[in-house]
Amino acid sequence: MKTLTTEDKAYLLEKIRDIPDFPKPGIIFKDITTLLKDAQAFHFLMDHLQARYEEMDIDFVAGIDSRGFIFGAALADRLKKGFVPIRKQGKLPYTTIGEKYALEYGFDEIEIHIDAFACDKPKANVLLIDDLIATGGTAKAAASLIEKSGAHCVEACFILNLTFLRGDDAVKKITPVYSVLEIN
């Protein structure tokens, strides 16, 4: 599988804007819109993801609401696979299954359609993708939801991993994790 050089990673990282104190004081928000609007950088990133996953036995790409939709749909198209959105509770129109996860104060839930991974084999292979992993609550719930649906999550892919928060540790208990870029 293709890996990025240190120079490649630096190139992509410089395309991501830091927004201090957003959404609250002390947080440095990683704004991917600057990477997305740079056609050359976005194309470079998608070439990398395509090269990494084109030889894997993947039936669907699932993207987490909402920025995972951007990368997931583009990658699914390149791989000629179906795309499945993993949405916040109450956003999907058909019968769903859900997975709850803990927040700092309370719980939230994500959902997929009950037939999201229906295909011509007993157990679909699904690649999970999102823009960023921080504490890992949503990503862990998404990987669990894929497994709960009867499919198999072959890997969880994140464009950015805030490694100091160790969110990937929880996800690795369910599926392998690949991060394009890591922020220590």
Q: Which residues are catalytic?
A: 67, 104
Q: Which helix (H) or strand (E) holds 99?
A: strand 96-103
64 Rama class: left (phi>0) / alpha (psi -120 to 50) / beta: beta
Backbone angles phi, psi at 169, to 5 degrees: -60, -45
- C-alpha separations of 105 from 94, 101, 108 in Å: 29, 11, 10
Neighbours of 43 (CB within 10 A): 11
Sign for the CA dihedral angle at 87, 90, 93, 98 comes to positive
For the record, the structure tokens of 3 come out as 């890996």
DSSP H helical segments within 63-108, as ranges?
Answer: 67-79
Neighbours of 34 (CB within 10 A): 14
